[in-house]
Amino acid sequence: MRLALAQFNPTVGDLRSNTERILRFAERADRAGADLAVFPELAISGYPPLDLVETAGYLESNETHLRRLAAASVRLGTGLVVGYCGRDEESGDAANCLACVHRGEIVFRQRKVLLPTYDVFDESRYFVPGKRAGVWRFEKARIGLTICEDAWNDKQFWERSRYSRDPVEELASQGIDLLLNVSASPYHIGKREFRVEMLRAAALRHRVPAVLVNQVGGNDQLIFDGSSFALDESGTLRTRADSFREDLVLWDVAGDSDVPEGSWSSGEVFGEVDAVFDALVMGTRDYVTKCGFGKAIVGLSGGIDSALTVVLAAEALGAANVTGVGMPGPYSSEGSLTDARHTARALGIRFETIPIAPLYKAFEKQLAPLFAGTAPNIAEENLQARIRGNTLMALSNKFDGLVLTTGNKSELAVGYCTIYGDMCGGLAVISDVPKTLVYELAAVANRRRPNAIPESVLTKAPSAELRPDQKDSDSLPPYEVLDPILKLYVEENLSVSAIVEQLGEPLGLVREIARKVDRNEYKRQQAAPGLRVTSKAFGMGRRFPIAQRYVR
């Protein structure tokens, strides 16, 4: 049997267009002689649909489009497996479903059994679980069908199981010739290798070929990498689709097609930092275009964060669609504007300069009666950042480009950023990238766009340039110290004392960092959606109260 892994990029809620594009993929698979084309989880709906599931007509519209797809499939020899938002037939409640379609008919349906409800996933909010995973007889094969999480509970693979059931084991016990998993599994660092290892464990344990077809594309904060793959019954990787782009890959289940060379699981084609770069490019492109924009605006401070962000934007949207804006202020260094202009020139993007000093003076004058006799503090610093934010938003409102924010995860964690200032914008491109990883990504950027980020930007001490001779290190420890603390506190939820024990940093320092993270939750809850690349990003997958007083 020849399978087509149809790695497809849907737009959430655009049911008509998604369905038409699924059909185009199916036709390609048909022309390539595929017996079966497999699409991702919720392909018709796009994942995650969130509360759209509860709006009038959403499930009915999914069903209508599924039927249209089925009707159109009458022209094809290829069968289709496709995910959609459906219903539990008994209760009428929403369910995360797949349908098997062949020669004009919907021949099999199934609901997802295990519903992830943690981190960025809220499926128990929306769906009722299926009672069992089913074996679909197609041609002469017995195909075990699973939807994403259904294959994530192998009791031998996982140290700790989230669910009492293992649908893969239940399917295998019925006898299957092939295990299919249709997924919408978002990217984070290391996730691609992990998926292969996980499904390999199932293939080996049950001696069955296993195929995972994953959604690709950015949907708001989530980046789906695709990276679909096929394993034979000995767990050998037999084919794989690209990461971070649509793809259609064929695999003859019983055949002997070669293992593709240098796959990402071997780490040879490109490393994980390159993957993060590509993830951010795709995530930026998809967010901007799926929101109906074509252009982006980036404030260029001459620092490394905005330099990296604008390289990503130019890669995502094309140089002609990106404007860089230099906004030197009273405390900007001479080199900053030069460095900003350098990057803009290297990328070939438009660059505008709007000095903010006259605006800052106007505010100073207007506030003078109230501020008289007070010492300069954060108010004056934030004002500069907010004048810049206003300026960028004015350009956005006038010329219709989406402002991209340039803050990194380390800053956002400790609140070293100005709400309504440098946090202004529609998408936070690198808000899940720790500062130390920003430097690694800058190296990738300079490989992809030679010399886009000048050496001076890579080597100068990070500074917000909001008061004379300010350096990040005035307020924060070096990022090489800060980032490991943040990783343990934010991503692993450890206590202060456990972090001290693990890293050997001083208790007072770790306690101060933890306090900053907690106290700045209010800023993050008003942040632009940020692209997720780590296992725990600020945003939809991390939900803390603001007015709370727990001290870990």
CB of residue 151 vs a second copy: minimum separation in angstroms?
A: 21
CB atoms within 10 A of CB 474: 10
Interacting residues with a second copy between 261 and 320 (CB under 8 A): 286-287, 290-291
Using CB under 8 A as the binding rule, whether residue 328 contacts a second copy is answered as no
- One DSSP character per residue, 54-84 reads GSTTHHHHHHHHHHHHHHHGGG-SSEEEEEE
539: helix, strand or coil:
strand
Q: Given the complex with a second copy, which of 206 and 386 has the nearer CB atom?
A: 386
Residues 310, 284 contacting (CB under 8 angstroms): no
Nearer to a second copy by Cβ, of 372 and 461: the residue is 372
Q: Which stretch binds a second copy (CB under 8 A): 137-145, 255-263, 378-386, 452-460?
A: 378-386
Nearer CB in complex with a second copy: 140/543: 543
Distance CA 196, CA 204 (A): 12
Q: How far apart are CA 527 and CA 425, in angstroms?
A: 9
For 512, the 3-state DSSP assignment is helix
State whether the Cα torsion 167-171-173-179 is positive or negative: negative
Pick from 469, 327, 318: which is nearest to 390 by CA? 327
Among 204, 269, 354, 503, interactor with a second copy by CB under 8 A: 354
DSSP 342-368: HHHHHHT-EEEE---HHHHHHHHHHHH
Smaller CB separation from a second copy, 15 or 99: 15
Residues contacting a second copy: total by CB under 8 A: 84
Judge whether 41 counts as a catalytic residue: yes
491 binds a second copy (CB under 8 A): no
The region of 47-55, 146-154, 257-265, 475-483 touching a second copy under the rule CB under 8 A is: 47-55
Structure-derived torsion over alpha carbons of residues 534, 538, 539, 544, reported in degrees to the nearest 10: 130
Q: What is the smallest separation between the CB atom of 551 and a second copy, expressed in angstroms?
A: 8
Query: Rounded to 5, what percent of the chain is helix, strand, coil?
Result: 40, 20, 40
What type of residue sits at position 286? D
Q: Is residue 359 a contact residue for a second copy (CB under 8 A)?
A: yes
**Nearby residues of 494 by Cβ (< 8 Å), 6 or more positions away:** 488, 502, 552
Q: Which amino acid is at 264?
A: W
Nearer to a second copy, 459 or 548 (CB): 548
Give the footprint of a second copy on residues 54-113 (CB under 8 A).
Answer: 54-58, 61
CA distances from 339 to 302, 334, 336, 404 (A): 5, 9, 5, 19
Binding region for a second copy (CB under 8 A) out of 48-56, 144-152, 181-189, 270-278: 48-56
Active-site residue, 112 included: yes
Shortest distance in whole angstroms from residue 122 CB to a second copy? 7
CB of 389 to a second copy, least distance (A): 6
Nearer to a second copy (CB atom), residue 80 or residue 403:
403
C-beta of 35: minimal distance to a second copy in Å? 32
Binding mask 185-224 for a second copy (x = CB under 8 A): ----------------------------------xx----
Smallest distance, a second copy to C-beta of residue 383, A: 5
CA dist 306 and 405 (Å) reads 8
Could you say which of 97, 112, 315, 417 is catalytic? 112
- Judge contact between 458 and 304, C-beta under 8 A: yes
Q: Which stretch binds a second copy (CB under 8 A): 10-18, 231-239, 446-454, 465-473?
A: 10-18
Residue of 49, 134, 209, 415 interacting with a second copy (CB under 8 A): 49
Between residue 492 and residue 551, which ones bind a second copy under the rule CB under 8 A? Answer: 493-495, 498, 522, 525-529, 540, 542-550
The answer to whether residues 160 and 59 touch, using CB atoms and an 8 Å cutoff, is: no
Write down the H helix ranges in 401-527: 409-414, 435-448, 455-459, 472-475, 479-486, 496-503, 507-519, 521-524
Burial of 90 (0-12, 13-18, 19+ CB in 10 A): exposed
Which position among 140, 258, 365, 450 is part of the footprint of a second copy (CB under 8 A)? Answer: 365
Closer of 102 and 188 to a second copy (Cβ)? 188
* Min CB(14)–a second copy separation in Å: 4
How far CA 233 is from CA of 173, 255, 509, in Å, comes to 15, 12, 51
The whole-angstrom separation of Cα 44 and Cα 48 is: 11
Work out how close the CB of 31 gets to a second copy at its nearest, in angstroms, rounded to a whole number. 29
Among 85, 148, 417, 424, which one carries the catalytic annotation?
148
Binder of a second copy out of 366, 451, 473, 475 (CB under 8 A): 366
Tell me the closest approach of the beta carbon of residue 282 to a second copy, in angstroms.
13
Binds a second copy by CB under 8 A, chosen from 194, 270, 371, 439 = 371
Stretch that binds a second copy, among 171-179, 194-202, 349-357, 469-477 (CB under 8 A): 349-357
Token pair 């006799």 in the structure block, residue: 373
Chain positions 390 to 449 lying near a second copy, rule: CB under 8 A, are: 390-391, 393-395, 397-398, 419-420, 424, 426
CB-based burial label for 67 (10 Å; 0-12, 13-18, 19+): middle
Q: Identify which of residues 408 and 418 has a Cβ nearer to a second copy in the complex.
A: 418
Binder among 87, 386, 409, 532 for a second copy (CB under 8 A): 386
The pairing of strands 237-240 and 229-231 is antiparallel
Closest to a second copy by CB, 11 or 436: 11
**Distance in Å, CB of 313 to a second copy, minimum:** 16
Q: Residue 467: which H helix or E strand, with range?
A: none
Q: Which of 41, 149, 315, 380 is catalytic?
A: 41
Q: Give the active site residues.
A: 41, 112, 148
